[in-house]
């Protein structure tokens, strides 16, 4: 199979290209030499150009493979205390047992010494002793192994560490469809992992289609409760409640919202059923352009997808055809990231010979990423719009703009989800484990992961702005560029 789409635009997974590449396949993965102990095969990057076969059940051998994979390849792998992984895994294992009402006296962790091999052997022995006493139920066994593996990955506390299993498309999905309630709110889906600076009130910022559109929900509507839970309690966000706004397939339970429309004072409830919907095609391209004011170009980049830097540059040259631009607004709100090379290429249009970021090992050995100096300089004053949805590669870009003084950032602080570029590893059950081997630092060598990049001009959106269709951040950017 050779023709495949690498759809990196829609935000979400570390491994989009791989999944995409894995769309047609049955070629067996390249077998890897077994680990020295004779255990399961080492994890390895999926072979480019081959297809990932269908998933098989996750077993304790796959958990072992993931454990070894993390210790051998993860950013802090050389220093990582293996006991932290095993303890987190064991905790999840016992919780999963309890969830099924099957707790057992043997489900007590072994003593762990910090010896990676010996500790694994002890862990596996107890694990097998427990699972051998359970009914011979494949689904039950798989759920236990999956819960254990998932918890070990979560224990890394790394926003770019993921394990993808059971990722399925809705059977009626068509290319371009989106799944969910059909709305975006002032607190995004990332709230579950990184609540950051979520502030009340919670309100609708965009209606994309689907159930929200059908129910007449509008931007600016304040969401007072979600399935009966308040989105904020004493000013602190309730991640589980807000997270219900962003269901992922196969989650399909209806979500009840209590809404307030400030302008009319109306209070009412809607029940939205998650589903597939077709967004307005005008809103979905990776690159969209406009001229919000004569002489000022506007380019929205929804993700650092392959070729996206060149697309932005071509869009700018089209805007410049037959007119003189005196400034550029680059709208990166909601840009979920993508390929760092695209970031370096786009930055090459604004500066040459600069370091854009560092990627560092746990021992502090850093490799500099640099501007792509083969790109012609645009020589345009720049304003970049950011928000909490600007994540990962988007923060790489934003931090470089700020640190290198290439332009002004306008909007709100970025997501703070930029631990480092994730590498994919294929596991024995044909799932993909992804995590970074290096961590990301901004050009000033400061950490932006978990913290985000602060805008030069803090311009938050209010419910009134959203209801009126105003964009105060864009207005501020235009004012700055007109000074």
Partner 1 sequence: MSHAREPKPILRAGLAAAAGLAVLAASACSAPAPPRTVAAASAAPSAGATGPATLPAPTGPHPVGTTALHLKDTSRPDPWVPEAKARELMVTLWYPARARTGQRAPYMTPKESELTLKGRRVTGAPYDLLSKTRTNAFSGAEPAGRKGALPLVVLSPGFTMPRSTLTALAEELAGGGYVVAGIDHTYENHATTFPDGRVAECVACDSDTDPGFGTRVAGVRAADVSFVLDRLTGPDAAWEGSALIDASRIAMAGQSIGGASALAAMVTDSRVRAGINMDGTAYARLPKSGLSRPFLFLGSPGHTPGGRDNSWDRDWKLLTGWKRWLVLPGGDHQSFTDVPLLADALGIEQPGSLPAARSVEITRTYVRAFLDLHLRGERQPLLDGPSPRYPEVEHCAPAAKTCE
Quote the least distance from Cβ 250 to partner 1, whole Å: 11
First CA to last CA across the chain, in angstroms? 54
The stretch among 31-39, 50-58, 131-139, 462-470 that binds partner 1 (CB under 8 A) is 50-58
Beta bridge partners, 233, equal 236
For partner 1, the binding residues in 384-403 under the rule CB under 8 A are: 389, 391-393, 396
165 contacts partner 1 (rule: CB under 8 A): no
For partner 1, the binding residues in 321-340 under the rule CB under 8 A are: 334, 336-340
Quote the least distance from Cβ 319 to partner 1, whole Å: 14
Dihedral of alpha carbons 155, 423, 8, 340, sign: positive
49 contacts partner 1 (rule: CB under 8 A): yes
Binding test (CB under 8 A) with partner 1, winner from 27, 32, 361, 462: 27
Quote the least distance from Cβ 173 to partner 1, whole Å: 6
The stretch among 5-13, 81-89, 132-140, 222-230 that binds partner 1 (CB under 8 A) is 5-13
Q: Provide the 8-state DSSP code for 244.
A: T
Helix ranges (DSSP H) in 113-234: 116-132, 138-154, 210-214
Are 348 and 313 contacting, i.e. CB atoms less than 8 angstroms apart? no
356 contacts partner 1 (rule: CB under 8 A): no
307 contacts partner 1 (rule: CB under 8 A): yes
For partner 1, the binding residues in 269-298 under the rule CB under 8 A are: 279, 281, 284-287
Q: Which is nearer to partner 1, 68 or 311 (CB)?
A: 311
Q: x/- string (CB under 8 A) for partner 1, residues 215-244?
A: ------------------------------
Binding test (CB under 8 A) with partner 1, winner from 255, 316, 409, 417: 417
412 contacts partner 1 (rule: CB under 8 A): no
116 contacts partner 1 (rule: CB under 8 A): no
Q: Which is nearer to partner 1, 173 or 268 (CB)?
A: 173
162 contacts partner 1 (rule: CB under 8 A): yes
Quote the least distance from Cβ 80 to partner 1, whole Å: 20
Are 249 and 168 contacting, i.e. CB atoms less than 8 angstroms apart? yes
Residue 43 CA to residue 73 CA, distance in Å, equals 9
Residue 164 CA to residue 431 CA, distance in Å, equals 6
Q: Which is nearer to partner 1, 215 or 242 (CB)?
A: 242
Half-sphere exposure of 8 (CA within 13 A, CB side): 21
Q: Which is nearer to partner 1, 407 or 421 (CB)?
A: 421
Quote the least distance from Cβ 394 to partner 1, whole Å: 8
413 contacts partner 1 (rule: CB under 8 A): no
* Neighbour-count burial of 331, counting CB atoms closer than 10 A to its CB (0-12 exposed, 13-18 middle, 19+ buried): buried
Q: Which is nearer to partner 1, 261 or 388 (CB)?
A: 388
Are 355 and 343 contacting, i.e. CB atoms less than 8 angstroms apart? no
188 contacts partner 1 (rule: CB under 8 A): yes
Residue 482 CA to residue 320 CA, distance in Å, equals 17
Q: x/- string (CB under 8 A) for partner 1, residues 367-386?
A: --------------------
The C-alpha angle 352, 389, 436, rounded to 5 degrees, equals 65
120 contacts partner 1 (rule: CB under 8 A): no
Give the DSSP per-residue string, 461-473. Answer: --HHHHHHT--HH
Q: By CB under 8 A, how many residues form the interface with partner 1?
A: 100
Per-residue CA distances from 141 to 93, 105, 163, 431 (Å):
11, 18, 18, 17
180 contacts partner 1 (rule: CB under 8 A): yes
* Neighbour-count burial of 79, counting CB atoms closer than 10 A to its CB (0-12 exposed, 13-18 middle, 19+ buried): exposed
For partner 1, the binding residues in 434-453 under the rule CB under 8 A are: 436, 440
Residue 373 CA to residue 24 CA, distance in Å, equals 37
Q: Which is nearer to partner 1, 41 or 286 (CB)?
A: 286
Q: Which of 453, 344, 305 is nearest to 390 (CA)?
A: 453
306 contacts partner 1 (rule: CB under 8 A): yes
82-99 vs 116-132: helix axis angle to the nearest 10?
10
| DSSP three-state, residue 223 | strand
Residue 233 CA to residue 224 CA, distance in Å, equals 11
358 contacts partner 1 (rule: CB under 8 A): no
**Other beta carbons less than 10 A from residue 146's beta carbon:** 22
169 contacts partner 1 (rule: CB under 8 A): yes
Q: Which is nearer to partner 1, 289 or 326 (CB)?
A: 289
Q: Which of 254, 199, 257, 247 is nearest to 224 (CA)?
A: 257
65 contacts partner 1 (rule: CB under 8 A): no
407 contacts partner 1 (rule: CB under 8 A): no
Q: Which is nearer to partner 1, 184 or 261 (CB)?
A: 184
């Amino acid at each position: 199979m050779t023709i495949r789409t690498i759809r990196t635009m829609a935000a979400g997974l570390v491994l989009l290209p791989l999944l995409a590449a894995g769309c047609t396949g049955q070629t067996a993965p390249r077998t890897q030499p077994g680990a020295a102990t004779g255990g399961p095969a080492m994890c390895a990057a999926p072979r480019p150009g081959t297809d990932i076969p269908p998933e098989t059940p996750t077993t304790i051998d796959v958990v072992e493979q993931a454990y070894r994979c993390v210790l051998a390849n993860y950013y802090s792998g050389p220093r990582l205390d293996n006991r932290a992984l095993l303890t987190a895994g064991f905790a999840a294992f016992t919780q999963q047992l309890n969830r099924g009402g099957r707790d057992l006296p043997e489900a007590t962790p072994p003593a762990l010494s910090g010896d990676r091999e010996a500790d694994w052997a002890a862990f596996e022995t107890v694990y097998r002793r427990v699972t051998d006493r359970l009914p011979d139920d494949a689904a039950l066994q798989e759920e236990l192994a999956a819960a254990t593996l998932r918890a070990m990955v979560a224990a890394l506390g790394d926003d770019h560490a993921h394990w993808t299993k059971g990722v399925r498309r809705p059977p009626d999905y068509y290319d371009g469809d989106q799944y969910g309630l059909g709305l975006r709110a002032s607190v995004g889906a990332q709230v579950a992992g990184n609540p950051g600076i979520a502030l009340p009130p919670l309100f609708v910022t965009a209606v994309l289609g689907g159930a929200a559109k059908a129910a007449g929900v509008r931007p600016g509507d304040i969401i007072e409760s979600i399935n009966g839970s308040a989105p904020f309690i004493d000013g602190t966000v309730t991640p589980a409640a807000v997270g219900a706004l962003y269901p992922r397939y196969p989650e399909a339970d209806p979500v009840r919202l209590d809404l307030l429309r400030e302008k009319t004072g109306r209070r009412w409830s809607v029940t939205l059923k998650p589903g597939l919907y077709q967004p307005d095609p005008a809103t979905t391209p990776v690159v969209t352009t406009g001229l919000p004011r004569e002489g000022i170009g506007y380019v929205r980049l929804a993700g650092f997808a392959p070729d996206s830097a060149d697309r932005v540059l071509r869009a700018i040259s089209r805007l410049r055809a037959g007119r003189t631009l005196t400034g550029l607004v680059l709208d990166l709100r909601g840009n979920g990231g993508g390929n760092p090379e695209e970031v370096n290429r786009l930055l090459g249009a604004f500066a040459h010979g600069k370091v854009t970021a560092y990627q560092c090992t746990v021992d502090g050995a850093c490799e500099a990423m640099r501007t792509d100096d083969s790109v012609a300089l645009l020589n345009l004053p720049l304003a970049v719009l950011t928000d909490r949805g600007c994540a990962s590669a988007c923060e790489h870009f934003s931090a470089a703009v700020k640190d290198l003084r290439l332009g002004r950032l306008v909007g709100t602080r970025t997501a703070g989800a930029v631990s480092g570029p994730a590498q994919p590893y294929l596991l024995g059950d044909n799932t993909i484990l992804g995590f970074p081997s290096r961590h990301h630092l901004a050009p000033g060598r400061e950490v932006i992961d978990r913290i985000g990049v602060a805008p030069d001009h803090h311009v938050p959106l209010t419910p009134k702005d959203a209801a009126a269709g105003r964009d105060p951040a864009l207005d501020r950017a235009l004012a700055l560029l007109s000074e």
